[in-house]
Structure 1
Amino acid sequence: MNYAIIGFGKIGQALAQAFARSGIEVSVATTRDPESFASEAAAIGPAIIPKTLEEAVTADVIFLAVRFESHPAVAKALPNWKGKTIIDAMNTLAPLEELGGLPSSAVVAKAFTGTKLVKGFNHLVAGVLDQDPAVHGGRRVVFLASDDDGAAAEVGALAEKLGFAPIKLGGLLEGGLLVHARGNSWGHLIFKDLVKFE
């Protein structure tokens, strides 16, 4: 299983920190030349490998950490995303009315034809996401929502490897709304920093 993070802003770098802490190799990419962010990747750790977008999309599991408005351009990098798992770590301030009444994750799922999409890691701000998830004798929670139970389990296992405590919220229309950044009201779980104790 190999991993990639597309987008190397604050959230992308916070995710890279989680991989580096766990010693798990991950490719990182943007639409820019990898040399332009190689020094930032090297500063995080040797397991963070800068690549082109075309190289990064060959990974099995891909985190989307770009601006929401940029995801359609990323989706065009492959004609079909079958067999890949996409983790939607993006947020948008677009109200639900502009998204056809759907949570943003359901909109993203339509753009990435054939993929198994999991909404996750988006409810924590970058300054919290990049911290060690072992806190107060417990583990920081990440919420996951997906219409594919197998993909949710796969991402849950990865979250545990990264030190987090995954909590599954159900499908995109139910769970996705709970972590939707904005609609007529904020999702009930957005920006909630919770810790799970065993």
Structure 2
Amino acid sequence: MTFGIIGAGTIAQALAGHLVAAGQHVVLSNRSGPAALEPVIARLGPLASAGTVAEAAAADMAFLTVMWPDVPAALADLAPWDGRILVDTTNQIERLDPFEVADLGDQTGSEYVAGLAPGARVIKAFNTLYASYITPDPRHPAGRQVLFYAGDDVEAKKSFHELVDRFGFAPVDIGPLREGGRLMQVGGPLSALHALRQD
């Protein structure tokens, strides 16, 4: 599979590090353009490259890691997804100070994201973990870092499960995008829940 990341902040760089460590090539992107990412790419090594958002989104599996207010712009004017996998790592936080959660009515954040990326097989993941729990090796003496994920497509979830298991996480499928997304979103019972699983 090919991998791309839309966004280049802390979460994006953590995921890129895991992909590179697993021997995978990854294309990082941000709204400032590839040249702005040269220091990040240099640190990650030859398996990482900088590209446009469109190039990152063209990967078999793309990770959406931008801040919530930037989601519509990040997903605008992209080529049809045609069944490619979009991993949504966002939380629907409208602003941090003062703290405000976006009101989506009956929708979950990932349902909103899926509406902006028609044809994508959307998986919700990584949003329940603080960045400091994503960046390091998820393998610990007491067990592996649990990673909850949700989605509607069985094959997409299988591909994602196998990938993050290689990263060292202990992946836990919590069901469809709607029900699982409710458990994982800000205010849900799994939000900011950090647990280890002994294998």
Q: TM-score under structure 1 normalisation?
A: 0.91
Query: What amino acid maps onto 2:123 in structure 1?
Result: V
State the 4+ residue runs in structure 1 displaced beyond 4 angstroms: 94-97
1:7 aligns with 7
Whole-angstrom distance in 2 between the partners of 1:20 and 1:13: 10
Residues 68 and 93, structure 2, Cα contact 8 Å, conserved in 1: no
Whole-angstrom distance in 2 between the partners of 1:84 and 1:62: 8
Query: What amino acid maps onto 2:197 in structure 1?
Result: K
Gaps of at least 5 residues in structure 1 are none
1:87 aligns with 87
1:169 aligns with 174
Whole-angstrom distance in 2 between the partners of 1:141 and 1:24: 22
Whole-angstrom distance in 2 between the partners of 1:50 and 1:161: 23
Residues 93 and 101, structure 2, Cα contact 8 Å, conserved in 1: no
Shift of the alpha carbon at 1:96? 7.5
Task: Map Cα deviations across residues 31-88 of structure 1 (whole Å, 9 max, x no partner).
Answer: 1121111112221333221111122222110000011222222222324211210000
Query: What amino acid maps onto 1:178 in structure 2?
Result: L
Q: TM-score under structure 2 normalisation?
A: 0.91
Residues 5 and 57, structure 2, Cα contact 8 Å, conserved in 1: no
Whole-angstrom distance in 1 between the partners of 2:77 and 2:134: 27
1:152 aligns with 157
Change (3 A) 1:139 1:64: same
1:122 aligns with 127
Query: What amino acid maps onto 2:66 in structure 1?
Result: V
